[in-house]
Amino acid sequence: MLIYLRVLKESFNFAINALRNNKLRTFLSLLGVTIGIFSIIAVLAAVDSLEKEIKGSISGLDNSTIIIMRFSFGPSNIPQWKREQFPDVTFEEYQHISRTLPDLEAASYALNVKNEAVKYEDQTVADVAIGAVSHEYYDIEALQIEEGRFFNESESVSGTPVIVLGDEVAKGLFGEQNPLGKKIRLYGRKFSVIGVLKKEGAGLFGNSKDSAVFLPVNMVRRIYGDNNRSSFPQIVVKPEEGVDVAEFKANLDQKLRSFRGIKPGEVSTFFLNQLQGLSDFIDNITTQMNFIGLIISGFSLLVGGFGIANIMFVSVKERTNLIGIQKSLGAKNRFILFQFLFEAIVLSIIGGLIGLVLVWIMSYVASMFTGDFEFILSPWNMFIGTIISAVIGLISGIIPAISASRLDPVEAIRTGM
């Protein structure tokens, strides 16, 4: 064991000497490995960051949550012309589901409507997302309240003009004032502020709850009406924990089909969009992105491997005399083999570490310029980068190391003189 540690130490010293004595040659040779590792880890970091941000934007909803609407989250076998004829889900269907669906934890009715401006005295916050939902949405989404409360069932059913503000909206309207109990204007009406959400941070697509407000859906229904195609409703359904989701979806599908009078054999005129399917779709996309990134980065690593092999062949030639002396003093072929192999691995790891440092710098700078979007350089990705560097060094150094180990000591000394 001690002899291998000695070989590793000597190989490290030789690699450092190669960097010192032939800076330009070594730099150009390591450039391929550095670019390759930089490309691979940058792709992995970017995809991990993107995946975290996308899933973070739906993290408030459980993966078993089902969103019922006339649109599908993903591709559908139903022709577009037929999908465009599907009716919207209705408030009556939401009530029917809430009353009759077994194993149901909560169901909420929501309306997707356009953004509006919210006013308080002379302060205005524009482009505010309107969360028109029934009271159950608070539990389904697991909303976090900083001050006050969410509206209750009585306020939800009656459409009481109360409102819950996102953090940015509250600060834009009231600054450091306490907003609870204040009256704000929306849709030309006055709403009483009863709560403020905790700060969430910006979402990937600007859909943070910080710039949103929540109010009873029945209030918005009175404004828009139930047949307004500029808005579209949805029913958010959450099954009880531990329930067989497939069976739950089948029951839900049957309940809605019966309520709409859809005959057996006819297609359902609605979509049950499960968030688990969306998460699986995201995982599939990120896996493909990782694969494509690895293929592209592999070409850089291939060039880097040739660079490392070039350094090692030159190193063998320059140290032919030393190899002969080592072998004449009793050094075995295995000792020489490992010496050059370790040197190739050390050189490659040095190139890979430079690439990792560049990725870290890029991640730091990118995070500064993109605000709340955080680029992730995880320890696992750094470990992967180091291992790939070592493997490239191992593969690139095999042939030069074997050629060095097979040199005849007498010929090696004579050649080096």
* Whether 11 and 159 share a structural domain: no
pLDDT tens-digit series, residues 389-408: 888 888 888 888 888 778 77
Same domain, residue pair 201 and 338: no
Location of structure tokens 């089909």: 257
Question: Are 301 and 364 in a shared domain?
Answer: yes
Q: Which residue has the tokens 């960051």?
A: 49
Domain count for the chain: 2
Residues 6+ apart with CB under 8 A from 245: 64, 239, 274, 276
Same domain flag for 314 and 179: no
CA distance 65 to 11: 57
Determine the Cα–Cα distance for residues 245 and 255; give it in Å rounded to an integer: 15
Residues 256 and 321 grouped into a single domain = no
Determine contact, residues 212/80, Cβ cutoff 8 Å: no
- Give the Cα separation of 417 and 408 in Å (integer): 14
* Domain presence at residue 313: yes
Print the domain residue range for 175: 87-269
Helix (H, G, I), strand (E, B) or coil at 365: helix
CA terminus-to-terminus distance, the chain: 33
- Which parts of the chain register pLDDT below 70? 1-25, 49-63, 201-207, 275-286, 290, 293, 297, 300, 331, 367, 369-376, 412, 415-417
Report d(CA 169, CA 254) in Å as an integer: 41
- Judgement on whether residues 239 and 357 belong to the same structural domain of the protein: no
Quote the pLDDT of residue 370: 60
Is the distance from CB of 18 to CB of 317 less than 8 angstroms? no
pLDDT (tens digit per residue) in 143-166: 889 999 999 999 999 999 999 999
Supply the pLDDT for residue 363: 77
pTM for the full model? 0.59
pLDDT tens by residue, 328-364: 777 677 777 777 788 788 888 888 888 888 888 887 7
Say which residues have a Cβ less than 8 Å from residue 326's Cβ, sequence separation at least 6.
335, 336
The secondary element (H helix, E strand) that includes residue 186 is strand 183-186
